[in-house]
Amino acid sequence: MKTKISVLSLAVIAAGGMFITSCGTEDLSVPVIVLEGDSPFIVELGDTYTDPGFTATDDEDGDITASVTVDDSDVDTEEIGEYEVTYTVTDGAGNVGTETRIVRVVMGKADYMGTFQVHEICDMDGDGVYGEPGVDYEINDYTVTVTSGGDDNEVLFQNFGAYGATVIVPVYFSGDLNEILTVDDYNLPGTTIYFNADGEITTGTTSDIEFDLDYNAQDGATIIPCQATFVKL
């Protein structure tokens, strides 16, 4: 004979089984977004950013690529810099998946080419003071013409340091944004003069390119250090 206790026990067991079954079917998996193309993705200054693509999948819903929302409003191809593109997708159960692509807007080789107005201060007399008005050639204003060099990251500075139109010095750019400029112990042909320089872009937009360049001109034991600012005309 069944008792009230045995009937109640069966009811509790049945309810527990229903609860376990229900929990087992709950969708807790987050959808996955896979980016196509590179991250960081490189765009040259002034070019158009075109997303290289992506896919999104979910364990329960399958391919949900069409539901992905892309936010690339942070990207400004008119100015060099590092930007983020955000991808978001939500599955049928409300689980949210996200992914981020880094976009770098960089100085292109062509952006360096052209004529630059240069203002520099030097320490001609070696007293540690730059730009003394009473010392010859400690304050200089001149123009430099930049053309393409043979290597992918090489540009040529004509009239480097105001040493004359025949003085052409190769300058190499590097860095995540192609913003670092260097000259490494360059010997001016036919002379005993060597140039070393380090510089960096201070403003890099489609309408305004400026950089600072600190350099040394060395001839034997004589070293002339200068600090120059270049503004593209």
Give the Cα separation of 23 and 41 in Å (integer): 42
Other beta carbons less than 10 A from residue 93's beta carbon: 15
> Cβ distance 91 to 58 under 8 Å?
yes
For the chain, domains (ranges, CATH) are: 27-106 (2.60.40.10), 109-232 (2.40.128.420)
Q: What are the φ/ψ torsions at residue 12 (nearest 5 degrees)?
A: -65, -45
pLDDT tens series, the chain, 233 aa:
444 334 434 343 444 444 444 445 788 899 999 999 999 999 999 999 999 999 999 999 999 999 999 999 999 999 999 999 999 999 999 999 999 999 999 999 999 999 999 999 999 999 999 999 999 999 999 999 999 999 999 999 999 999 999 999 999 999 999 999 999 999 999 999 999 999 999 999 999 999 999 999 999 999 999 999 999 99
> Cβ distance 92 to 208 under 8 Å?
no
pTM here?
0.85
> Cβ distance 209 to 217 under 8 Å?
no
